[in-house]
Amino acid sequence: MLSREPVVYRSIPTDDDLPSAPIDPTWIHGGTPHARSRPLDFPTGATLSATIWESDAGEFDWHYPVDEMIQILAGEVEITPASGRTYKLQAGDVVFFPGGQVVRWHVSAYVKKVAINPVRLSLMRRIAHRLPFAIQVVHRFRAMRGRS
């Protein structure tokens, strides 16, 4: 079972030395972007995952198979979803990308973000995560029934 204590990540440094995480070459449309990333260590059993990711200049498509929320930590980027509308993002901006889409990223010089995604859980893990709440509901129902 997960601890109920929060996991705190103090100011994520912008000069972090991240390992290489190449972008799929078929997604690249301009430049030679070099991406780097690393996952944040969340407790075992967490239902979210997070990754620190950065890239230098280039233009590429990013495929979002599942929902993703990001916050730009440093630099800037222009993103263009299928609608064709362009959004300029800079440090501090937060964006939610619904899963099942492709978004064009244009990085003029550098961008760094933290990305948060849901973890796909098996049916048994989903049930186990809800079990403590279900037990509380049963106890409250029994208590209420005993009062009437």
pTM of the model: 0.74
Contact assessment for residue 36 and residue 19, using Cβ atoms and an 8 Å cutoff:
yes
List Cα–Cα distances, 89 to 24, 59, 73, 75, in angstroms.
22, 15, 10, 9
Q: Give the CA-trace dihedral at 11, 117, 25, 13, to 10 degrees.
A: 0
The more confidently predicted of residues 41 and 2 is 41
Which residue type is seen at 84?
G
> Distance between alpha carbon 23 and the CA centroid of its chain, in Å?
17
Domains along the sequence of the chain with CATH: 25-121 (2.60.120.10)
Residue 46's pLDDT is 76
Angle CA(79)–CA(82)–CA(83) in degrees, nearest 5?
95
The structure tokens listed for 84 are: 């064709």
d(CA 108, CA 57): 5
Residue 107 exposed, middle or buried by CB count within 10 Å (0-12, 13-18, 19+): buried
pLDDT tens for residues 17-60? Answer: 789 999 999 999 999 999 999 988 877 777 788 999 999 999 99
Given a contact cutoff of 8 angstroms between Cβ atoms, the answer to whether 104 and 59 are in contact is yes
Going by C-alpha positions, the residue among 112, 95, 109 that lies closest to residue 59 is 109
Contact yes or no for 20/36 (Cβ under 8 A): yes
Q: Of 12-21, 44-53, 105-114, 123-132, where does the model show the most confidence?
A: 105-114
pLDDT of residue 98: 93
User: What is the C-alpha radius of gyration for the chain, rounded to an integer number of angstroms?
Assistant: 20
Q: Comparing C-alpha atoms, which of 75, 81, 80, 86 is closest to residue 108?
A: 75
pLDDT at 13 over 70: no
Instruction: Specify the amino acid at residue 16.
Output: D
